[in-house]
Amino acid sequence: MPDSPPASAPAGSEPPRPPYAADGAATVTLAVYIDRPHLRQQVREDALASGYRVVETGSLEAFAAKGRASSAAVVLIDCPVPGPASLAALTRQDLVAHERGTQLIVATQLAALDDVFGCLDLSQPQLLVDPTSADFALALGRALALSGREQLRELAEADRRLLLRLSDQVSRLAARLDRLEEDGAGGAGDRLKAPALAFRGADQPWLPAGRRAAAPLPAPQRVRQILRQRQQRAGFFGPDLFADPAWDMLLDLTAARGEGKRVSVTSLCIAAGVPATTALRWIAQMTEQGLFVRIDDPADRRRAFIDLTDRAAGGMAAYFAAISEDRGLVA
């Protein structure tokens, strides 16, 4: 059941308030649906400290049982093990968020990422995978900055890339601090690992023949070899020094297109070689820049795949053509 608000308000909400506080400062409403009470309380406290007005709190079951989408300006939902009811509720919230221009933050586990991603094709949400407290705080801060405005579109391209890289740096710093704390307590932090070739797409031809042949891409074996070489560096210098998720994902999708395979969002996150939440931010950015495209699975609307756009495929083909005269050049 939702947490109990003051007695004068309906269960699960606060009385309606004007969009501006008495002092004239804009207020941003927030709904938080998280199963774990301690995490729900922590996120609520962090949100209040950041300037949000929290109008709804409760469990994932309570969110699914509402039968309607939240009307808050920002909606945060933790959906680690989604069932049919929660997936239907996510789809409903995605549609409402798209129609109203509200911010949606959805957290899940890596095993459930494809199912959750398949429900969120309209609102361009922030997706978090196995998030830390720092990931939640970053997502809330970003949503607060963007809520009610078109800042994301107004930012210059260079500024957007800079913000994304700064966000990645903060996330990596927070992850290092978390690992230091866990190591000090005798534990070992979980890391998203990319075993050799584990990120290949499913063995199904899926692109129309004309589109597969639209660009003279390099042999997929050559691209896979470059990916293996890039992964091997982590064994000698650590995983963070050469992190370049945008390039690794471009390489993976280039090889997959040459193989006639499709790549799920989970597979692409693994190919990126960075925490999944970081990879998802880059997927969103690359999609917005017109380099990636989302393709729904016609056989299962709950699944979606990522592919290169023709523009990106042309760029990769031109790049490999430019370096083809020097086979010793390392990508």
pLDDT tens track for 216-274: 788 999 999 999 998 888 888 877 777 889 999 999 999 999 999 999 999 999 999 88
Q: Judging by DSSP bridges, how do beta strands 126-129 and 103-108 pair with one another?
A: parallel
pLDDT tens digits along 166-203: 555 555 555 555 555 555 544 434 444 433 333 333 33
Question: In this structure, which amino acid lies at residue 287?
Answer: T
Give me the mean pLDDT over the 47-70 stretch: 93
Domain contains 11: no
Q: Indicate whether 148 and 200 sit together in one domain.
A: no
Residue 23 has pLDDT above 50, yes or no: no
Domain contains 15: no
Domain boundary among 154, 174, 207: 154
**Average pLDDT, rounded, for the chain:** 78
Of 113-122, 183-192, 279-288, 309-318, least confident by mean pLDDT is: 183-192
Domain contains 331: no
Of 48-57, 196-205, 271-280, 305-314, least confident by mean pLDDT is: 196-205
Residue 62 has pLDDT above 90, yes or no: yes
Q: Indicate whether 98 and 146 sit together in one domain.
A: yes
How far is 324 from 308, CA to CA, in rounded Å? 21
- Give the CATH number of the domain where residue 85 resides: 3.40.50.2300
Transcribe 45-95 into DSSP letters. Answer: HHHHHHTEEEEEEE-HHHHHHT-S---SSEEEEE-SS--HHHHHHHHHHHH
* pLDDT score for 107: 97
Give me the mean pLDDT over the 272-283 stretch: 91
Domain contains 9: no
Its domain, for residue 205, covers 191-323
Q: Indicate whether 53 and 106 sit together in one domain.
A: yes
Residue 18 has pLDDT above 70, yes or no: no
Number of domains in the chain: 2
Q: Indicate whether 206 and 123 sit together in one domain.
A: no
Q: Indicate whether 215 and 131 sit together in one domain.
A: no
Which structure tokens are listed for 92? Answer: 């409903």
* pLDDT score for 204: 38
* pLDDT score for 45: 93
Domain contains 176: no
* pLDDT score for 106: 97
Q: Indicate whether 66 and 131 sit together in one domain.
A: yes
How far is 297 from 304, CA to CA, in rounded Å? 5
Domain contains 69: yes
Confidence of residue 158 (pLDDT cuts 50, 70, 90): low
Q: Would you call 288 helix, strand, or coil by DSSP?
A: helix
* pLDDT score for 299: 79
Query: Which position has the higher pLDDT, 107 or 22?
Result: 107
Q: Indicate whether 222 and 118 sit together in one domain.
A: no
* pLDDT score for 145: 81
Dihedral of alpha carbons 183, 111, 63, 102, sign? positive
- Give the CATH number of the domain where residue 222 resides: 1.10.10.10
How far is 91 from 75, CA to CA, in rounded Å? 13
Q: Indicate whether 207 and 285 sit together in one domain.
A: yes
Residue 12 has pLDDT above 70, yes or no: no
Q: Indicate whether 52 and 149 sit together in one domain.
A: yes
Q: Rg for the chain (alpha carbons), in Å?
A: 21
Domain contains 329: no
* pLDDT score for 73: 94
Q: Indicate whether 50 and 126 sit together in one domain.
A: yes
Order of strands, edge to edge, in the sheet holding 300-308? 263-264, 300-308, 292-297
Q: Indicate whether 143 and 63 sit together in one domain.
A: yes
Domain contains 13: no
Domain boundary among 154, 172, 202: 154
3-class SS letters over 141-199: HHHHHHCCCCHHHHCCHHHHHHHHHHHHHHHHHHHHHHHHHHHHCCCCCCCCCCCCCCC
Place of tokens 């795949």: 305
Q: Indicate whether 132 and 252 sit together in one domain.
A: no
Domain boundary among 154, 183, 209: 154
Give me the mean pLDDT over the 307-320 stretch: 93
Which structure tokens are listed for 3? Answer: 């947490």
